[in-house]
Amino acid sequence: MPDTSLPVSSRSPDMGRRRFMAQFSLLGVGGALLPAFLLERLQEGEKITAEMLAEAEGVLGLQFTDAERELMLEDVNETLESLQEIREVDIPNTVHPALSFDPVLPGRRFPAGHGSVRISQQPGVTRPANLEEVAFWPVVRLAELVRTRQVSSVELAQMYLDRLKRYGPQLECVVSLTEELALKQARRADAEIARGHYRGPLHGIPWGAKDLLAEDQYRTTWGAKPFEDQVIDEDATVVARLEEAGAVLVAKLTLGALAWGDVWFGGRTRNPWNLEQGSSGSSAGSAAATVAGLVGFAIGSETLGSIVSPSTRCGATGLRPTFGRVSRYGAMALSWSMDKLGPICRSVEDCALVLDAIHGADGKDPTARDVVFDWDPDVRLADLRIGYYKSAFDAERDDKAFDDQALVALRSLGVDLTPIELPDQFPVGALRIILNVEAAAAFDELTRSNRDDLLVRQVRRAWPNVFRQSRLIPAVEYIDANRIRTMLMGALEATLAGVDLFVTPSYGGSVLLTTNLTGHPSITLPNGFRDDGTPVSISFIGKLFGESSMMVAAKAYQDATGFHRQQPPTFAV
């Protein structure tokens, strides 16, 4: 466990200057934020000294002369006063920075509009004698039951609510059942369908929301003890759009505290294939509940692996859309330049149907944009140029045999795979400071108030420690990291010029961090099961706003292999 006596100044008011400066740096020297301890000194009339600046330089890897320090002092102390004024302003988590990330480089254009969606045919869909058998059906089949009125939305909602009550405690995947709202929405769906007003394939389908999405009738806890009783008095855009599509919200599902890991204030969400394992995070509940047949589909979020990781661990099909494809309004902000919302489902086509309902600008999230999304599951693979991340497939690793077999399966479908390599001329790992700085700013007040102590996990990689140590990152390096990010975006665009998409081991090389930084879409799906019965995954990466081609290829692979149809024995019907 880390030394929790150090991170915030009010915990140790008698800390010596050297120990203090080992923890924090000064805006006038390197650009990092000043701690409350110095602000308290200022109130007492004490000022920053040249000796303190010298100690800060060691932390930042800088060295100034005595004359330079003396010249800086007056301005540094003026900056201290400015920071005091800034900290007195209440800044809600919902407030977006004035600077916004755009994954689209200058001069590039994408067609605007809604596009068209054509669902694959589902012949012979009939209601089973035991309705619970449909708990694991994909949305495309559930939708046909509802559309033909073989099953009512109320029946589906009640079936999933019963399973959530029965299995949710085992998986520790439910924060709040939304039973009253669900039955109200289901009754409305049934009435509309009876009148001939069918909204589309999500009409009457029960779903679950990662509990960082606001719904005004229920608490939105962000998985964290400090926000356990928080109620936000509006709906997230994604929640509102799914309601408009006729979907039925049955539960708010768990996430690791403040979107990290699978440990939340009520426990640890479990992997449906092995209850001794966590489900990974941070979209822990969304993946676990979907795979265990507790919801028809779910919404998750990803900043750096939070859809890819639990989809891998639980065997879900998880779509991370292009940055800006889906509005994040009403969702907890962690990193304004990296956060993305997307569906976690039981099939690729389900993800396409959900994306069709939730994508597009809303006038509230400044990064969200209208770009055409088309879905035609019958596009021929031969019409797509598909690459593969060669060095990642070649690398030795535990699950290599599964990934190699995925390439064999794709080639058996007639795919001529083109080897590609991701740009390696940039320090991609170092660019993670972008996420850390933005997350620390998003939860600045939590850190300064000491309420970060309420978070369950207080280990090195958990947010409390990351928020604290990120105050040592200078603003200049944060900006320079984003400039390198722009260079990385250009290099990746050049790499992908010859392909429409590429396939990769889900954690191969630098693919996870690189494509989250550049904003590219991905879809992760199961590609086999280990000897212990737990799933492994493969990922497909598309061009910016190239979800359609990416998912056509992924669906072809998924249909040919069928791993997504397997059910975890503990929850099978």
Query: In Å, how far are 168, 262, 534 from 163, measured between CA atoms?
Result: 7, 21, 22
Instruction: Give the residue among 279, 348, 355 at the shortest CA–CA distance from 311.
Output: 279
Instruction: State the catalytic residue, choosing from 306, 347, 470, 506.
Output: 306
Please check whether residue 249 is in contact with residue 185, taking contact to mean a CB–CB distance below 8 angstroms.
yes
Instruction: State the catalytic residue, choosing from 9, 153, 282, 309.
Output: 282
Query: In Å, how far are 137, 218, 274, 308, 528 from 563, measured between CA atoms?
Result: 14, 35, 17, 17, 6
User: Is 282 assigned a catalytic role?
Assistant: yes
Please check whether residue 143 is in contact with residue 201, taking contact to mean a CB–CB distance below 8 angstroms.
yes
Rounded Cα distance between 366 and 237, Å, is 13
Rounded Cα distance between 127 and 150, Å, is 6
DSSP string across 393-461: HHS--TTHHHHHHHHHHHHHTT--PEEE----SS-GGGGGHHHHHHHHHHTHHHHHTTGGGGSS--STT
Tokens of 517: 């930084």
Neighbours of 479 (CB within 10 A): 12
Instruction: State the catalytic residue, choosing from 152, 210, 543, 549.
Output: 210
Please check whether residue 510 is in contact with residue 485, taking contact to mean a CB–CB distance below 8 angstroms.
no
Rounded Cα distance between 124 and 48, Å, is 77
Query: From the centroid of its chain, how far is CA 304?
Result: 7
Please check whether residue 265 is in contact with residue 224, taking contact to mean a CB–CB distance below 8 angstroms.
yes
Query: In Å, how far are 243, 286, 287, 323, 351 from 157, measured between CA atoms?
Result: 14, 17, 19, 32, 20
User: What single-letter DSSP state applies at residue 231?
Assistant: B
362-375 per-residue burial string, b: 16 or more CB within 10 A, e: under 16: beebbbbbbbebbb
Query: How many residues comprise the chain?
Result: 573
User: Is 210 assigned a catalytic role?
Assistant: yes
Residues 422, 426, 432, 434: is their CA dihedral positive or negative?
negative
Active-site residue list: 210, 282, 306
